[in-house]
Structure 1
Amino acid sequence: MAESAVREAWRRLADAGLPSQALHRSPTNSPHLTLAACPELTAPIRWELAEAAAALPLPVRFTGVVRFEKPTSVLAWALDLDFALAGLHRRVWEAVASDSPPATLNPLHAPGRWSPHITLGRTRRAGAFTDRRVPELLPAPPLAVRLTTLRSYDTETGALEVLAPRP
């Protein structure tokens, strides 16, 4: 249900001529929540992420539309940063931070700065989502969904890896 709602939002933005994730044709492009990013998934990071994956599935609530403006313009559905989601995020952040050079980590993903969201559209064009039609174009986000999979995406190779709990 959540995936179809996000894809419908992507379609509506694209149909209106606005930037949309629907135009990102990579097979790895699917609705997702970015918890953190790191340059390499080392063995220690993998072990920690496998432990964090044990918290899934995790229910989360949508709170509405949010816009970000720098370094790119982003339109997204925001998620409620409740205790459980904050805990999952902290575990993932600590895993990637434990074995990555600090300069390689995105400070916007750090606990206290991270804004959980599902991206609907993104562009380098400033102010792209200030169009008054935007709220009317979007379907209502689902009230609640469950995060079910922890995955990693390698930006160099395009490989997608599901990080499952250790047996």
Structure 2
Amino acid sequence: MAHTLELFFDEAADAAVRELWRRLDEVGVPSVAARGHQRYRPHVTMAVAGTIPPATREALRSDLAALSIPDLWLYTLGTFPGEDSVLLLGAIVDTELLAVHTAAHDTLAGRVRDPSAYYFPGAWVPHCTLAHGLAPSQLSAGFAALQPTEPIRASVTGVGVTDTRTGEVDVLLRP
């Protein structure tokens, strides 16, 4: 996929996630930052699509500006099953967060190319990725390295569309 709609965190939450990445790297579990990904900034992804066109971004700017975006509580250390094992910090889901997510998808509906169904309302698992593509032994080592994990309160300081090929972010909103 080429474009992602992301929520970015305040400095303290950003630093807390980067500390988790550092702890993973320290024990030989490659964090997303260590893997050389374009995205080095901690975030929660709300939508993924092949393309989020400029006109749709303008509609998102307008629609998101009318909403109150809640703080996120990154609380649960977890994983997604499958071949590309993901170590993540899951966000607590509440009605306010779901309302923002649903509003964003209402704006995106029919206006983007190749949307990912994993991020649709009802399927979305809000999370901040810590590492992915891990072998089972790395996943176990990652869990051990991050225990105990303290909850992180993340104020959303920006919403943007990230081009996953270049890492360039088009900032849509700074609440």
Q: Same fold (TM over 0.5)?
A: yes
Contact persistence 1:56–1:149 (CA under 8 A): no
* Structure 2 counterpart SS, 1:29: coil
**How many residues end up aligned between the 2 structures?**
161
- The structure whose residues are more often strand, as a share, is 2
Q: Which of 58, 75, 89 is equivalent to 2:101?
A: 89
Structure 1: give runs of 5+ residues left out of the alignment. Answer: none
Change (3 A) 1:108 1:126: farther
Q: Which of 59, 77, 83 is equivalent to 1:65?
A: 77
Write the deviation string for residues 22-80 of structure 1: whole angstroms up to 9, x where unpaired: 30445642000000012223243112311343235521222311101235110011001
Is 1:17 the counterpart of 2:28? The answer is yes
Q: Give the root-mean-square deviation of aligned CA atoms.
A: 2.3
Q: Which of 42, 47, 70 is equivalent to 1:31?
A: 42
Change (3 A) 1:56 1:28: farther
Is 1:106 the counterpart of 2:120? The answer is no
Taking the aligned partners of 1:135 and 1:155, their CA distance within structure 2 comes to 27
2:76 maps to amino acid? G
Structure 2: give runs of 5+ residues left out of the alignment. Answer: 1-11
- TM-score norm. by structure 2 comes to 0.80
- Percent identity of equivalent pairs: 29
Change (3 A) 1:156 1:130: closer
Contact persistence 2:17–2:42 (CA under 8 A): yes
2:161 maps to amino acid? S
Write the deviation string for residues 78-109 of structure 1: whole angstroms up to 9, x where unpaired: 001111110111122222223124xx111110
